Amino acid sequence: MNEKHLLMIPGPTPVPERVLQAMAKHPIGHRSKGFTEIQADVNAALKWLHQTEQCDVLSLTGSGTAAMEAGIINFLSKGDRVLCGCNGKFGDRWAEVSEAYGLNVERITAEWGKPLDVSAFQAALEADTEKQIKAVIFTHSETSTGVLNDLAGINAAVKAHGEALIVVDAVTSLGACSVPVDELGLDVVASGSQKGYMMPPGMGFVSVSPKAWAAYENANLPRYFLDLGKYRKAAAKNSTPFTPAVNLTFALQDALKMMQAEGLEGIFARHERLKTATRDAMKAIGLNLLGADDVASPAVTAVLPAQVGAEDIRGSMRKHFEIALAGGQDHLKGKLFRIGHLGFVCERDTLTVVSSLEATLQMLGVEGVTPGAGVAAAAAVFAG
């Protein structure tokens, strides 16, 4: 059977029918009064989602990488020293972006599947008595491994330093767990539409603190389309510097309304339940998890099957049940599969994935799995 697809990857994530329909409206002029009103509505809701009153939250057309690149290149100058946290594909990417622009990058690495070590940031920042480190850049939820890095811990180290900006890739954490921008004083937070926002891909978002705007004044890396100063100036008039993705903005407005109806606490609690149920189910089935429970991402769970190949499981899930799971990236390709539980995902979806996975393992002849054990474990979380 076809066309009964279930998307369980960590982005693009499933999109509510009403959001798809909002997107399918006929476009209007981006300089019209009607669009300005939508943009005003969206800008206010984005601030709500980022838990900020003092930061600007700017929308741009592009992927999460575009948003994160904007978050790096607008506030730094060539040769600036930055710390990049690298414990997965995306942390590595931000180090690459920084190097592409001639920043002086010091990588703080951890094994893929392990969290970044806060004390390593502390040590590097404390040793920098001349305050040459201009930014600390890292990924909150590392999508490639399902590990949630210690945002509060790294932030405390940055705040103790006093000079450096904290630049956070929150692409798969924003809208999944709390990213309290004002409370923590986060300078730059980047995210993307196809994740917690319950939207299709195509838009990126960057929140910018007053401290980051002060750094912007002296930052000299070249940029134009990603020049956030232009977005700030336009946003003050609820406009955009370049033609925005009008229909995606329709979708965004509707998706943010749905998020506000659920409420931040509701959204975070749902992701926590989905994460715990998924992990408990994998353990009950006897599948190994890449990250430890106390650093598990609310967005995605990475599973390391021992008795059968990860790609065999993905292929069979796709073929028999039309469920899309993500594979491993870079050196983990073929070794793991990843279950997304981010955005427009409900408890029923988790039960569906777990039950289909159990059936798949039976089909693949994996021994030692107690049929129904995974579903029972997930159900126990939802019942609790």
Which positions touch a second copy (CB under 8 A)?
A: 5, 7, 9, 11-15, 20-21, 23-32, 61-66, 69, 96-97, 100-102, 192, 194, 200-202, 221-227, 242-248, 324, 326-327
Cβ proximity to a second copy, 121 vs 197, nearer residue: 197
Nearest to 267 by CA among 92, 109, 49, 94: 49
Cβ proximity to a second copy, 5 vs 320, nearer residue: 5
Cβ proximity to a second copy, 179 vs 252, nearer residue: 252
Which residues make Cβ contacts (< 8 Å) with residue 48, sequence separation at least 6?
Answer: 256, 260, 264
In a 13 Å sphere around the CA of 42, the CA atoms on its Cβ side amount to 31
Cβ proximity to a second copy, 14 vs 91, nearer residue: 14
Which residues make Cβ contacts (< 8 Å) with residue 72, sequence separation at least 6?
Answer: 82, 94, 97, 98, 101, 103, 135, 137, 167, 188
Cβ proximity to a second copy, 230 vs 283, nearer residue: 230
Cβ proximity to a second copy, 62 vs 88, nearer residue: 62
Long-range own/partner contacts, residues 47-52 (CB < 8 A, 24 or more apart): 48/256, 48/260, 48/264, 49/174, 49/175, 49/256, 49/259, 49/264, 50/174, 50/179, 50/181, 50/189, 50/207, 51/178, 51/179, 51/180, 51/181, 51/182, 51/183, 51/264, 52/181, 52/182, 52/207
Q: How far is the CB of 68 from a second copy (least distance, A)?
A: 9
Q: How far is the CB of 24 from a second copy (least distance, A)?
A: 4
Q: How far is the CB of 34 from a second copy (least distance, A)?
A: 9
Q: How far is the CB of 11 from a second copy (least distance, A)?
A: 7
Q: How far is the CB of 155 from a second copy (least distance, A)?
A: 25
Beta bridge partners of 332: none
Q: How far is the CB of 74 from a second copy (least distance, A)?
A: 12
Cβ proximity to a second copy, 83 vs 248, nearer residue: 248
Q: How buried is residue 237: exposed, middle or buried, by Cβ count under 10 Å (0-12/13-18/19+)?
A: exposed
Q: How far is the CB of 102 from a second copy (least distance, A)?
A: 6
Q: How far is the CB of 384 from a second copy (least distance, A)?
A: 31
Cβ proximity to a second copy, 192 vs 196, nearer residue: 192
Q: Where are the alpha helices (DSSP H) in 50-175?
A: 64-73, 89-100, 118-127, 151-161
CA–CA gap between residue 380 and residue 374 (Å, rounded): 10
